[in-house]
Structure 1
């Protein structure tokens, strides 16, 4: 079984430049978790490049083995550090987890 974890965030900053900077930093920090958090099987994070007025600002698509692996990822110290930064710059979050 493989579990896909998809998360989209909208940044809290009111101006487009700061929103884009925060989104790029979120994506950079998430991508840096590859090779650090052993539960990650595949991970891609990126800042939105088109339609900034209607799209979310950044997305994460990550594959793990199962729900236990996702839960271990959630409490890994490296992820907790990234999550702390994300919470400091986001206004909203949406997530979906599904089996592929």
Structure 2
């Protein structure tokens, strides 16, 4: 199994919206990817919550059956369609994939 974890820190303002609106939009877009390809075992997008510690604004925690399943997700047109918006609103991005 491959775990794929991505975190985004967002700009204060981008694409005509503030950080909170863009975070909500990102979450909705990610939620739409939860069943894009076979082999997705877990898929959870979360926005930082007031009152809880967070250094990033949006996180994706996902699990894939194997590297082939992760690659299929990464290359799927539905996933590729997110990249222009995500690139426009992010200040920083961190990612880690690991096999268990």
TM bucket, shorter chain: 0.7 to 0.9
CA contact (8 A) 1:11 1:90 kept: yes
Cα distance in structure 2, aligned partners of 1:69 and 1:12 = 31
CA contact (8 A) 1:24 1:46 kept: no
Deviation of 1:99 after TM superposition, in Å, equals 2.1
Deviation of 1:38 after TM superposition, in Å, equals 2.8
State the partner residue of 1:10: 9
Cα distance in structure 1, aligned partners of 2:53 and 2:84 = 25
List structure 1 segments (4+ residues) > 4 angstroms apart after TM superposition: 51-54
* Structure whose residues are more often helix by fraction: 1
**3-state SS of 2:59 partner:** strand
Output one character per residue of 1:41-75: Cα deviation in whole Å (capped at 9) or x when no partner: 21000110136896200000011111222122111
* Structure whose residues are more often strand by fraction: 2
Map 1:1-100; keep pairs closer than 5 Å: 2-14=1-13, 18-50=18-50, 55-100=55-100
Cα distance in structure 2, aligned partners of 1:62 and 1:52 = 21
RMSD after superposition: 2.3
